[in-house]
């Protein structure tokens, strides 16, 4: 049989024209040529016979030789890839559940220990809430807010769960200490905000008493979350199967989704609303964690932590951006360790010899490693030219204290203690700034084996990851308490600008890395 190359109709071998459309039949026999004539542009996909460019059907087997558009094939090829990715994420989410629960369990244990160690005052007298403050701190009282941090949140939660009447009945008792739970500490460790409000509703009108939005400024809580996630991530790294960077990201996303959902559920269960009927009016108090804030921050914290831990897993080819993340983590750990050691020296030498030490150590919440960590992150912010701001309004006054290494101390009060303190640490700041630049320079040498393009992109990833991590520490060390009343508003803030830290630390890290790269290139050319 011979087939018409236009319509595909079968004809007898001796036929000259097609019986269907009268077209001349192609008489060449089946032949697969390695070197084809110029008019032969394609081959039959079924039998391999050579075909001319205008043929629509094979003259040997009658199969269509029309080609499918390449663009259509490319568009269709993406869908199985996305389905495979979603399938892998679902599988990974099941595998990571035990390790996520491990991180949560560690956080619960650490938080329980913290609450057991903290000796909250049960004395609700005026003298207990307003102790004698060192000279220069009468108006601002910034240490006071940290010193009584746990007791303040105990009181806020007690008002929401039992009302002000119950708070008065429990005055002077130890029941106040049991209000704050380890799950509250877990939420604070994930940088969650809490809102406390009071509303008085009567038949005539609704009176909004106050609403307070607050977040503790103790970086020690944040350290607990990072430590728990790092331990769980390290345990998971021995089981995780990572062959490429896509697997690396999928594993981190799966872990973070499960972790953030659990923390989100904690926030829902820890929300409290209490209602008291006074006959002529109804008083409603609430203690609520901001759900979206909890979900977003817990996801980002766990995602970046697990990504960093899994980047140290061996046995897979790591592109430049994985190496950049790994090097930035090592840089941050080195810098924080150095600053922790320096802050410990400051605490045990200089601060111990001034009257402020006893005032600080009176509270077990801000003692030992807690205070060391707080000072370390303060010093890191000073090194990166950030400005500490202490703002108070309302009954305290309006008042604002700020300090930056170039702008010096700006304070409405003439505090000799503050001036001596900042003047003393300035020499440390300049030395630490030099040490920090050297550390960044040394770690930037890790990119010397990469190609020029990957090296520059690696510097960007390195600097970005470095800046994001330090900005997270800045957020964790910043305390704020915004109080909105019916006719007035009070606020308290002590800390640094995370935006400033993000921009300045990124630029400094990038510039030092580039200088290090150029220095290495010059040395090689001289050699």
Please give the radius of gyration of the chain, using alpha carbons only, rounded to the nearest integer.
34
Domains of the chain by residue range? 1-67, 319-527
pLDDT of 410 reads: 76
% of the chain at pLDDT higher than 90: 24
pLDDT at 155 over 70: yes
Residue 145: φ, ψ to 5°: -65, -35
pLDDT at 77 over 50: no
Average pLDDT over residues 70-86: 47
pTM reported for the whole predicted model: 0.75
Indicate the pLDDT class of residue 345, thresholds 50, 70 and 90: confident
pLDDT of 415 reads: 63
pLDDT in tens, 404-438: 888 877 776 666 667 777 777 888 889 999 999 99
Average pLDDT over residues 216-241: 90
**Tokens linked to 142:** 């910034």
Q: Is residue 167 within 8 Å of residue 155, measured between CB atoms?
A: yes
**272-281, 323-332, 445-454, 506-515, range with the lowest pLDDT:** 272-281
pLDDT at 73 over 50: no
Could you write out the three-class secondary structure of 64-102?
Answer: ECCCCCHHHHHHHHHHHHHHHHHHHHHHHHHHHHHHHHH
Q: How far apart are CA 176 and CA 158, in angstroms?
A: 7
What is the DSSP annotation of 455-505? HHHHHHHHHHHHHHHHHHHHHHH-EEEEEEESS-EEEEEEE--HHHHHHHH
Please give the residue that has the higher pLDDT: either 197 or 102: 102
**70-74, 148-152, 189-193, 303-307, range with the lowest pLDDT:** 70-74
**Which range, 226-235, 278-287, 392-401, is most confident?**
226-235
DSSP 11: E
Indicate the pLDDT class of residue 384, thresholds 50, 70 and 90: very high
Three-state DSSP at 412 gives coil
């Amino acid at each position: 049989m011979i087939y018409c190359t236009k319509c595909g109709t079968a004809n007898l071998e001796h036929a000259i024209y097609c019986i269907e459309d009268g077209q001349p039949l192609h008489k060449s026999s089946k032949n697969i040529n390695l070197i084809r004539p110029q008019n032969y542009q394609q081959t039959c996909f079924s039998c391999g016979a050579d075909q001319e460019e205008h043929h629509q059907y094979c003259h040997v087997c009658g199969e269509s030789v029309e080609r499918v558009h390449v663009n259509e094939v490319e568009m269709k090829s993406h869908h199985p890839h996305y389905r495979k990715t979603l399938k892998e994420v679902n599988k990974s989410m099941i595998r990571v559940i035990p390790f996520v629960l491990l991180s949560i369990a560690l956080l619960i244990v650490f938080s329980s220990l913290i609450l057991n160690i903290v000796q909250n005052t049960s004395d609700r007298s005026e003298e207990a809430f307003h102790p004698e403050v060192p000279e220069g701190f009468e108006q601002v009282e910034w240490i006071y807010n940290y010193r009584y941090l746990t007791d303040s949140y105990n009181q806020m939660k007690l008002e929401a769960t039992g009302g002000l009447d119950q708070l008065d009945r429990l005055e002077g008792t130890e029941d106040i200490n049991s209000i704050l739970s380890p799950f509250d500490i877990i939420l604070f460790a994930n940088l969650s905000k809490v809102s406390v409000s009071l509303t008085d509703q009567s038949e005539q009108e609704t009176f909004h008493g106050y609403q307070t939005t607050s977040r503790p400024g103790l970086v020690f809580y944040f350290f607990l979350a990072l430590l728990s996630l790092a331990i769980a991530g390290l345990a998971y790294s021995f089981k995780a199967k990572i062959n490429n960077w896509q697997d690396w990201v999928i594993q981190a996303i799966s872990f973070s989704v499960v972790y953030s959902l659990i923390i989100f559920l904690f926030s829902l269960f820890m929300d409290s609303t209490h209602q008291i009927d006074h006959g002529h009016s109804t008083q409603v108090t609430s203690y609520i964690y901001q759900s979206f804030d909890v979900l977003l921050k817990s996801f980002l914290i766990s995602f970046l932590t697990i990504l960093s831990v899994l980047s140290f897993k061996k046995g897979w080819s790591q592109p430049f951006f994985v190496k950049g993340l790994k090097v930035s983590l090592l840089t941050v750990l080195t810098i924080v360790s150095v600053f922790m050691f320096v802050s410990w020296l400051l605490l045990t030498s200089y601060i111990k010899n001034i009257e402020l030490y006893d005032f600080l150590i009176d509270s077990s919440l801000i003692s030992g490693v807690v205070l060391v960590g707080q000072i370390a992150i303060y010093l890191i912010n000073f090194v990166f030219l950030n400005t500490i701001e202490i703002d108070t309004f309302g009954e305290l006054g309006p008042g604002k204290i700020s300090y930056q290494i170039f702008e010096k101390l700006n304070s409405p009060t003439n505090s000799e203690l503050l001036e001596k303190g900042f003047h003393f640490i300035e020499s440390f700041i300049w030395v630490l700034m030099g040490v920090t630049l050297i550390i960044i320079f040394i770690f930037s040498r890790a990119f010397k084996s990469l190609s020029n393009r990957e090296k520059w992109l690696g510097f960007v990833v390195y600097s970005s990851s470095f800046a994001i991590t330090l900005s997270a520490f800045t957020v964790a060390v910043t305390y704020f308490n915004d109080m909105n009343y019916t006719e007035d508003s009070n606020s308290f803030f002590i800390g640094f600008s995370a935006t400033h830290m993000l921009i300045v630390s990124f630029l400094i890290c990038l510039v030092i890395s580039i200088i290090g790269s150029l220095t290495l290139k010059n040395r090689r050319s001289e050699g």
